[in-house]
């Protein structure tokens, strides 16, 4: 098996309270969730499933609060807050080779699995929906949070220049 590269911040406990910007790409970055028209995202049936499961995933996890979110043709952007009342940070970070319960990774894994299951049921066959990994950024302050919200909200209008848009010559 190929060596797998993790994008996680080494030694960081992703169960900690905080804000996280995540980006999850579709399998082979195919445009499977809809299309951009006039700077606005038009979801297809799979894109609607993604949006529904995003909100359901947030409702199922008491430690998670969801913020700004957008489905793009081949990826999603979302802001996720982890907010535990006890904010228990362990003295030793968890083993990063496994997904810790009630962590950002557990949320993403559950979301991806729920979407994959529903789209597979809709298609009547097992389906690869997502790339294996995802990208995250730990939000460090209020200004970065506001900038990230604006970036996510404006993402459909910037699709022509998006590095994940296969039609963009720079991608």
pLDDT tens track for 19-65: 999 999 999 999 999 999 999 999 999 999 999 999 999 999 988 99
Distance CA 128, CA 119 (A): 9
Whether 105 contacts 78, CB under 8 Å: no
Cα-to-chain-centroid distance, residue 154 = 16
CATH class for the region spanning 18-158: alpha beta
Whether 170 contacts 161, CB under 8 Å: yes
CB-neighbour burial class of residue 16 (10 A; exposed 0-12, middle 13-18, buried 19+): middle
**For residue 89, is pLDDT > 60?**
no
Distance CA 148, CA 154 (A): 10
What pLDDT, on the 0 to 100 scale, is given for residue 6?
A: 46
Distance CA 160, CA 157 (A): 8
The DSSP secondary-structure symbol of 40 reads E
Q: Which is nearest to 80 in space by CA: 137, 150, 7?
A: 137
Whether 76 contacts 107, CB under 8 Å: no
What pLDDT, on the 0 to 100 scale, is given for residue 120?
A: 97
What pLDDT, on the 0 to 100 scale, is given for residue 129?
A: 97
What pLDDT, on the 0 to 100 scale, is given for residue 10?
A: 66
CA dihedral of residues 30, 70, 24, 151 (deg, nearest 10): 110
What pLDDT, on the 0 to 100 scale, is given for residue 1?
A: 33
pLDDT tens track for 106-157: 999 999 999 999 999 999 999 999 999 999 999 999 999 999 999 999 999 9
Query: Domain map of the chain by residue range?
Result: 18-158
pTM tops 0.75, yes or no: yes
């Amino acid at each position: 098996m190929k060596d797998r590269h993790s994008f996680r911040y080494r030694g960081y406990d992703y169960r900690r309270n905080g804000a996280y910007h995540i980006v999850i790409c579709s399998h082979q970055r195919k445009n499977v969730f809809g299309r951009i028209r006039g700077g606005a995202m038009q979801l297809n049936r799979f894109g609607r499933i993604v949006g529904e499961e995003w909100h359901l995933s947030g409702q199922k996890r008491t430690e998670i609060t969801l913020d700004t979110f957008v489905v793009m043709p081949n990826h999603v952007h979302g802001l996720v807050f982890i907010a535990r009342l006890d904010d228990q940070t362990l003295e030793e970070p968890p083993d990063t080779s496994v997904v810790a319960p009630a962590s950002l990774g557990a949320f993403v894994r559950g979301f991806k699995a729920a979407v994959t299951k529903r789209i597979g049921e809709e298609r009547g066959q097992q389906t690869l929906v997502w790339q294996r990994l995802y990208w995250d950024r730990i939000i460090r302050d209020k200004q970065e949070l506001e900038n990230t919200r604006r970036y996510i909200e404006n993402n459909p209008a910037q699709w022509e220049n998006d590095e994940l848009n296969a039609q963009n010559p720079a991608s």
